[in-house]
């Protein structure tokens, strides 16, 4: 970690660790020491010669985005097959594509673009599914380290229902997972960590789930998977796991909901008992609104779930979702909450902008430690937005400027990215 001290000058907006109002500091100063934000003040503090001043006056400075659910190996097929539902979409488009990542050169080409584009979009933290292929997964981990991005990267486990090209035997799946854990160990010091990734219950036999659960317990490993995304999928899980109470219990029954270390994608159709179980296990739910619309999965009752105290981050779910830029998903989360309110119960709770922004920054960031908010004691992981073009017609206040950036802007408005207080260069352009 850098020992440098910096004083940033600009217009800051941040959520807080808990959902609520956003804080705005217009024309303010942020003092960053050793990568950590010390204070934000409206009056310029007295500083010594050892502090470097960085002038972003007139620009927005916001916490970096966290994408807590995406599939690196679906980057190429993003946008394809959105006239299908989940299960045929997986079989027809996704599984055949993922099998191609046994080819190292193909994997390297795709991951080079993906890592670059994560950087470009200001997604400095992500929780990623790779494929079943260990070597491709470790390659992705190394490329993320090179780019200075933080991530959980999972080798996918699937020993059934994946088709001949993708499926592993149970023994291969466990053996390869242990090999992957060994190969990932050196990357942990650089912020790229392994995460157990049983694809979803229908892809894993009870024996594989059992062995992965044991690994999670023995080594304290985090887990990511999918649940309650699509009605046909949920019926299938009931038939495959008749002894479990419900879908979330399948993971719980196999020790695959480690407390505070689980990311569960989608979670659209949950019973109250499942919500309670996820709350107890402090699961981070990855809400993937774009994907849920594209493959007609449904609309998550996000506002209701927030009201129950659940921790909900946002996932692009590339390639079920069609944009990497997390502003798109912040706005999609709001749109879907509003549609659900309009089509179901107009007396129900509705997501507001501050909550949606919180999901894409603070809540997602909570998976990665003290990041995702611009408050003292947290890492200064931040994006600088030049939004002059978006507010050129008439003056807007800082919160309105943030809304314009999220709903109308995109990665072209991000002019600088900082990770632990240090400027993050474009991948591939770093001087070695
Ligand atoms: N469930 C199991 N695998 C997948 C996947 O790749 N994408 C989505 N959206 N859901 C899944
Ligand atoms: Fe997914």
Residue 64 and residue 385: Cα distance in Å, rounded?
Answer: 11
pLDDT band at 206 (very low <50, low <70, confident <90, very high): very high
The three-state secondary structure class of 331 is helix
pLDDT of residue 1: 57
Instruction: Assign residue 400 a region (left: φ > 0; alpha: ψ between -120 and 50; beta: otherwise).
Output: alpha
Q: Ligand 1 atom 11: the closest Cα is on which residue?
A: 226
Between strands 223-227 and 51-63, the pairing is: unpaired
Average pLDDT, the chain: 97
35 phi and psi, to 5 degrees? 85, -5
Q: Residues 389-403: what's their mean pLDDT?
A: 96
**How does pLDDT run across 124-137, given as a tens digit for each residue?**
999 999 999 999 99
pLDDT for 428: 86
Residue 341 Cα, ligand 2 centroid: separation in angstroms? Answer: 25
**Rounded Cα distance, 315 and 222, in Å:** 17
5-63+371-423: what CATH class? mainly beta
Is 362 strand, coil or helix? helix
CA of 393 to the centre of ligand 1 (A): 42
Distance in Å, CA 317 to ligand 2 centroid: 5
DSSP 227: E
Give CA 163 to chain center in angstroms. 28
Q: How many Å apart are CA 168 and CA 134, to the nearest integer?
A: 12
User: Ligand 1 mean position to 90 CA, how many Å?
Assistant: 7
pLDDT at residue 430 tops 60? no
Nearest protein Cα to ligand 1, atom 9: 320
- Cα separation, 28 vs 12, whole angstroms: 7
Looking at all shown ligands, the one closest to residue 86's CA atom is 1
* 85-106 per-position pLDDT tens digit: 999 999 999 999 999 999 999 9
Structural contact between residues 272 and 230, judged by C-beta atoms closer than 8 angstroms: no
Q: By the 8 A CB rule, do 161 and 203 touch?
A: yes
Chain center to CA of 418: 18
Nearest residue to 113 via CA among 366, 426, 431, 430 = 426
The answer to whether residue 431 scores a pLDDT higher than 60 is: no
For residue 227, the CA-to-ligand 1 centroid distance in Å is 9
Distance 230 CA to ligand 2 centre (A): 12
Closest-CA residue, ligand 1 atom 3, reads 199
pLDDT reported for residue 152: 98
Q: What is the pLDDT of residues 155-185, one digit of tens each?
A: 999 999 998 888 799 999 999 999 999 999 9
Residue 262 has a pLDDT of 98
Pocket residues: Cβ below 6 A from ligand 1 = 71, 86, 90, 94, 199-200, 226, 229, 291, 317, 320
C-beta of residue 6 within 8 angstroms of C-beta of residue 421: yes
* Domain spans in the chain, listed from the N-terminal domain onward: 5-63+371-423, 65-368
> Could you give the CA distance from residue 106 to residue 148 in angstroms, rounded to a whole number?
22
pLDDT at 257: 98
Residue with tokens 């491709």: 136
pLDDT in tens, 14-66: 999 999 999 999 999 999 999 999 999 999 999 999 999 999 999 999 999 99
What class does CATH assign to 65-368?
A: alpha beta
Burial of 164 by CB count in 10 Å (0-12 exposed, 13-18 middle, 19+ buried)?
A: exposed
Q: CB atoms < 10 A from the CB of 188, how many?
A: 12
Around 290, how many Cα atoms within 13 Å sit in the side-chain half-sphere?
A: 24
By most ligand atoms within 8 Å of CB, the mutation choice from 229, 237, 250, 296 for ligand 1 is 229
**H or E element at residue 95:** helix 95-99
Alpha helices in 166-280 (DSSP H): 170-184, 206-219, 231-240, 247-253, 272-280
Interatomic CA distance for residues 236 and 242, integer angstroms: 10
Among protein residues, the one whose CA lies closest to atom 5 of ligand 1: 90
Ligand 1 atom nearest the C-alpha of 291 is 9
The full length of the chain comes to: 432
Per-residue pLDDT averaged across 108-125, rounded? 98
Instruction: For 327-369, write each residue's pLDDT tens digit.
Output: 999 999 999 999 999 999 999 999 999 999 999 999 999 999 9
Atom of ligand 1 nearest to the CA of 288: 9
- C-alpha–C-alpha distance, residues 195 and 218, integer Å: 14
* Percent over 90 (pLDDT), the chain: 97
Residues 6+ apart with CB under 8 A from 376: 37, 38, 39, 40
82 pLDDT band, cuts 50/70/90, is very high
Placement of tokens 């993320």 in the chain = 144
The protein residue whose alpha carbon is closest to atom 8 in ligand 1 is 320
Give pLDDT, residue 292.
98
At 233-257, the pLDDT tens digits run 999 999 999 999 999 999 999 999 9
What integer pLDDT is reported at residue 432 of this predicted model?
A: 44
Ligand nearest to the CA of 233: 1
């Amino acid at each position: 970690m850098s020992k440098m001290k910096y004083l940033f000058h600009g217009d800051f907006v941040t959520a807080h660790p808990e959902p609520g109002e956003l804080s705005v500091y217009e024309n303010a100063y942020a003092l960053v020491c050793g990568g950590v934000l010390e204070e934000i003040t409206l009056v310029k503090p007295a500083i010594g010669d050892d502090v470097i001043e960085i002038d972003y006056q007139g620009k927005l400075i916001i916490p970096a985005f966290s994408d807590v659910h995406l599939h690196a190996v679906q980057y190429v097929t993003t946008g394809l097959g959105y006239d299908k539902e989940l299960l045929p979409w997986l079989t027809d488009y996704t599984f055949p594509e993922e099998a191609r990542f046994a080819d190292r050169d193909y994997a390297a080409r795709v991951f080079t673009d993906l890592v670059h584009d994560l950087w470009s979009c200001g997604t400095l933290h992500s929780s990623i599914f790779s494929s079943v292929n260990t070597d491709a997964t470790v390659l992705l981990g190394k490329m993320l380290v090179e780019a200075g991005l933080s991530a959980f990267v999972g080798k996918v486990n699937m020993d059934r229902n994946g088709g001949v090209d993708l499926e592993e035997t149970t023994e291969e799946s466990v053996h390869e997972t242990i090999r992957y854990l060994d190969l990932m160990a050196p990357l942990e010091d650089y912020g790229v960590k392994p995460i157990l990734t049983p694809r979803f219950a229908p892809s894993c036999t009870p024996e594989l789930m059992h062995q992965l659960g044991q690994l999670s317990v023995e080594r304290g490993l985090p887990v990511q998977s999918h649940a309650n995304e699509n009605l046909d999928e949920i019926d299938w899980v009931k038939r495959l796991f008749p002894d479990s109470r419900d879908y979330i219990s399948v993971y719980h029954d196999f020790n695959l909901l480690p407390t505070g270390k689980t990311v569960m994608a989608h979670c659209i159709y949950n019973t109250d008992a499942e919500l309670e179980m996820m709350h107890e296990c402090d699961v981070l739910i990855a809400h993937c609104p774009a994907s849920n619309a594209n493959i007609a999965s449904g609309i998550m009752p996000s506002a209701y779930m927030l009201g129950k105290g659940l921790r909900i981050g946002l996932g692009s779910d590339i390639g079920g979702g069609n944009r990497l830029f997390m502003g798109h998903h912040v706005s999609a989360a709001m749109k879907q909450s509003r549609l659900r309110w309009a089509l179901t119960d107009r007396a129900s709770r509705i997501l507001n902008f501050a909550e949606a922004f919180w999901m894409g920054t603070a809540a997602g960031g909570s998976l990665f430690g003290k990041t995702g908010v611009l408050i003292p004691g947290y890492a200064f992981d931040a994006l600088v937005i030049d939004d002059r073009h978006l507010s050129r017609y008439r003056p807007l206040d800082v919160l309105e400027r943030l809304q314009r950036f999220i709903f109308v802007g995109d990665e072209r408005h991000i002019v600088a990215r900082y990770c632990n207080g240090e400027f993050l260069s474009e991948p591939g352009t770093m001087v070695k």
